[in-house]
Structure formats: C-alpha cells, structure tokens
Structure 1
Amino acid sequence: MATTGLSPAADADLARTAESLNMLAPRWSVWVLMTLSAGTMRYAEIKPRLPWLLDGQLSPRLGTLTEAGLVRRTEYNRRHVTYGLTDRGTQALPVLKTIAAWGDTYLDDYLVRNKATGKLEPAKPAPAQNIEGALALLTPRNALTILWILRERGTSSAQSLARVALPGANGADVYPRLRQLVDDGLVDRAGTAEDMPLYQLSASGQALAPVLRSVSAWAAGRPSAEADDHPVWGPDPAPSLSAPGTWLTHQPRTSAPPPAAPPAPAAWKGSDLFSHPIPSRPLTATPAGGQRR
C-alpha cells in the first residue's frame, strides 16, 4: 500500500491491517483455516471436509497459507505430511469470528430455491461465506484507506479524501472507489459544503470498528485484549451528520438497520465458526437484494 497523508503511525497501522486482510482474502483461505481449527490433519483428512475443492484448488491454498505463516506443514516422510495452524493462524481465529459476526448482521442472506415449492427462500450462509463477503468489500485498492480516513475525520469531501488517501497522485482516482463504497453501503452522502458533496461512514461502516480494531491488533502481534484501545477504531464512533444508510445490497433484513455494532462474539472454542455442519457445497444462489460483493 502506498504511503498516505495520515500520520506515520496511522499509516503503518493501516498498511499492516490491509496486508493482513489481503492475506485472508483469497477464496477458500478462510474455509481451510476454519477446517484446521479442529486440529492437525493430513491432506486426506482435509479433503473430505471441503469436498467441492479440487486438488488443484486445495493444494495451492494450503501452500499459500503455509508461506504466509498461518499453516504449518510437517513432513515425516513422503507419504506422511500433516497440516496444522501455527500460533499466528490460531490467533486469527477470534478475528475471523468477529468478521463473521459483522457479516451475519450486515450482509444479505442468500435466496435458494425450495425444491418442494419451487419458490426462492432466504437461506443463512455459512460463517465462512460471511467472512469472504466482508473481505471482498474491504480489500479492493484504496477501500480501506477511505474508510480509515472517514472514521478518523468524521466527514470529508472527495477532494479532501483524495489529498489524504492518494497524496501526489491523480485525485480523480478516488472517485470510482468512493462510489463503490457508497453502492456497497459502507459510506453515505452527508450533505454539501461549498457546493461539494460530503461523505461519511454509514451505520454499517461504523459497525466495522470491532472488525478493524481486532485485525489491527492481530496484524501488530498484540493481544486481542488491547484491541479496544485503537486510536481510530476504538469503541466510540465518529460523529454522524445524517441518518444511517442502506444495507450493503440495498435490501434490509428488517424494517430498519440496527442502531449499534454487532455484539462482541463469545469466547472462541475450536471450530465454533462452523455453526452448522460443513455444507456439501457453499451457497451459490443470488443474495437477497443483489450480488454479494
């Protein structure tokens, strides 16, 4: 990530957090980490738990996670190789649970056709799908930077965002990402000043606070107990100048968005992220209200 106009400490924190999110973002990475949360396994034990993954998908993912320091590969001989979470991988599990809680609250349910009635009905996605959906919103280039600046400064014009997010670059580069964040429901329009539109975090954007402070602590190698002291994503939300925005795909699950962030997840216990048996295949139907990004 390029240097921003934030303070050196904030810029380093942002860069570490973005790098850690990108480490988790490649598809199926979360599924593999959650599978290994049950303990060390051989490849032949992992494969049946993720039956939809071909060897050409599972092996590279295990290799990438091993290179990232999240998975430990132990080779006893050619025919006996095991995979398990490293300490760093284990420390990521509560972070994943926090992301899953946010996704369960703010991402739309999937619509799946009922075989008996032929009608589309909401189906609760697996926690790993909620995590993947949340990461897809946070990891595009400059997305996290814009969210970070709006959290720190409350409201800002696009021009001011560009000066901080992309100093020395073409300020117009901020507009496509800002529009996408508005479409995703993480950013709201907040009136105008001097004929320029202002932007602020939406209710769902503010609710990312527990997610981003936990990722920041994990990225810095700090205990999760210290996460609440984050200087930007601490427990007190930035001031809001307008009503909360829409849900991420513009289709609310209830008549009004909740007023507060998702509750902190309960203490981690092994493979609790699998709130139900691992599906034979993740849901692929269209989410209610539109595509998950």
Structure 2
Amino acid sequence: MPAPAQPSAFSIAAIDAQRVEDALARIGPKWTTWAAMTLAQENRPMRVRDVAAQLPFLSEQFVGKRLATMHADGLVTRDDDRRGAPYRLSALGTSLAPVLRTVSDWSRAHLPHRMAEAERVEDALRRLRPRHSTAVIQVLDSGGGPMRFVHIAEKAGLDNGLARQRLLRLQADGLVARTGPRHGDPYVLADAGQALGAVYASVEHWSEPVALRRAASVPRPAATATRSHAGVPLGAGTDGARTAAALRGSAAAPNVMFSHAPQPQPRVPAAVTAQPTPGRGR
C-alpha cells in the first residue's frame, strides 16, 4: 500500500470540478503551451509563419490551426481579421503565466522527467485534462481513505464503464493507486494526486475572469488582466480568497510565461522525435 503523502495546503474537495475541467479543456490541447510560450518570449505580434519558425517540429499549417483554436478560446488576439494578420497573447492568455508555473512546479516535484519546460507542462496537462478525472480525484480526496470502485463511480455520478476507464487512466498516469493486486482492491490517491490542490486552485482562479467576461459580454481592459495575480478580479467571499491564495508566490512579469523560462528557441521534444510529425503542408 502506498505510503500516505502530506496533505495539500489547498483543498481539492473545495474546488469547482466542472469549472476546472472547462478551463483545462481550453489550455490543455497539445501544443497550446508551446505556442503561448513562443508568443510570450517574443513579446510582439507574430504571423503564423513566424511562430512556426520557432517550432520547427510542427508544420506551418498545424500551427495556424492551433492559433485559430486559441483565438476562438480567447487566449490570443489579432488586430484585424485579414488573412495573415499577426497574433499576440491576449490579456487572458498572458494571465495564464502563474497557472503554467504552478503546473510545472507540481510536475517537477511529483513527475520527475527530463523535459523542456513547455513539454513538462503539456505532459502534466495531458494527465489532468480527461473529462471527469477531476471529479474522480475529488471523490478520492474527500473519501477519508481507500475506496472501492463502485463507491467511487456512485459518488462521482459516473456509470461503471466510464469510471473504470478514468481510474485505469489515472493509475497509468501516476495520480491514483490501488491498495493491492487483486481485482476489487480499493483505490487511493497517489502522492501526485494528493498534491493537486494548488494546481486545481490556480486553474479555478484563472477561470474566474473567463466566467465574469462571459457574463458581462464585454472585453476586460488589458491593463487589468495583465497585472499580477493580486490584480485579477475575484469572486466575492471565501472562494475568491481561497483561489487568490493559490497563486501567491508565483507572480512574475506579465510577459514571462515561466519563472524559469527556457531559451527562446525550444528544443524538439523527445516525444516528437520518436513519432511522425504533422506534415509540412501549406
């Protein structure tokens, strides 16, 4: 049975799982972090071909599609809709910096791999992003001890098939563990899963301006959104205080995507060199 880990300083049980998963669906798609990192490091409007030149392991066509998706999700912006108009990080995209640093720090502590910084973040987001994974981790965190599969499925509101898939994926990704080798042995959170409180809290905090912006239906001024975490509007009450606390100690200059940023020209990820890359179609 895995040794118990120290509890997270941030409560996993207190987060809004649906809000976290909606936010992860925006920031988690593969290559999103690489593109955001490139725009942050260059700190200037960049055309698709300019971003692709910094990511030589991706085709220009693929980079264009990724930036278009990021534009639809509000992470990047363009001055106009002309074909070929350059992209730059939006205020919302820039405000991701503390979130990505928190994810990176969690991965560095609990998923030790030799990776470039953006690759490390994307590997971590790949583990966290699958739908309903947050709910399963939340159930295990609040269960008070090992839980059998059927109880996890019931409390997470999932059918048995989906719950089994999620548990197997989370186990393979090192976030949950079984207490024994036999079929039916209960599950517990692994150390990496128990330490997710700060990650979830920072993602939830980042998503609050998204919800507020949707409700108001007007863009938030860039000067407000690009300030450090203390300047991001928060919800009222304890939720705002709790999520703001998740970002303390990780503030940095607005255009620095990571506190320990890699060189402007990122290396080709090992995972990419081991498999075919997207074609260089135009």
Q: Give TM-score scaled by structure 1 length.
A: 0.67
Q: Please, what is the CA RMSD of the aligned residues?
A: 3.4
Change (3 A) 1:166 1:11: farther
1:127 to 94, 112, 117: 117
Kindly indicate whether residue 149 of structure 2 is the aligned counterpart of residue 158 of structure 1: yes
Give the letter aligned to residue 134 of structure 2: L
Give the letter aligned to residue 204 of structure 1: A
Partner deviation per Cα, 1:71-98 (whole Å, 9 max, x = no partner): 001238666x221111211111110111
Kindly indicate whether residue 76 of structure 2 is the aligned counterpart of residue 85 of structure 1: no
Kindly indicate whether residue 92 of structure 2 is the aligned counterpart of residue 102 of structure 1: no
What's the secondary structure of 2:187's corresponding residue? Answer: strand
- 1:126 Cα deviation from its structure 2 partner: 1.0
Partner deviation per Cα, 1:241-273 (whole Å, 9 max, x = no partner): xxxxxxxxxxxxxxxxxxxxxx97643233352
Aligned residue number for residue 8 of structure 2: none
Q: Give TM-score scaled by structure 2 length.
A: 0.70
Structure with larger RCO (C-alpha < 8 A, sep 6+) = 2
Higher percent of residues as helix: 2
- 1:125 Cα deviation from its structure 2 partner: 1.0
Give the letter aligned to residue 154 of structure 2: R
- 1:137 Cα deviation from its structure 2 partner: 0.9
Give the letter aligned to residue 58 of structure 1: V
Alignment coverage as a number of residue pairs: 229
Aligned residue number for residue 173 of structure 1: 162
Aligned residue number for residue 214 of structure 1: 202
Partner deviation per Cα, 1:199-243 (whole Å, 9 max, x = no partner): 22111111111111100111122995679x669x98xxxxxxxxx
Q: How many angstroms apart in 2 are the aligned matches of 1:85 and 1:70?
A: 6
Give the letter aligned to residue 209 of structure 1: G
1:268 to 238, 244, 252: 252
Q: How many angstroms apart in 1 are the aligned matches of 2:65 and 2:56?
A: 15
Q: How many angstroms apart in 2 are the aligned matches of 1:280 and 1:190?
A: 39
Give the letter aligned to residue 175 of structure 2: L
Unmatched 5+ stretches in structure 1: 1-9, 110-123, 235-262, 288-293
Change (3 A) 1:275 1:70: same
Matched residues, percent identical?
A: 30
Unmatched 5+ stretches in structure 2: 1-12, 213-227, 275-282
- 1:161 Cα deviation from its structure 2 partner: 1.0
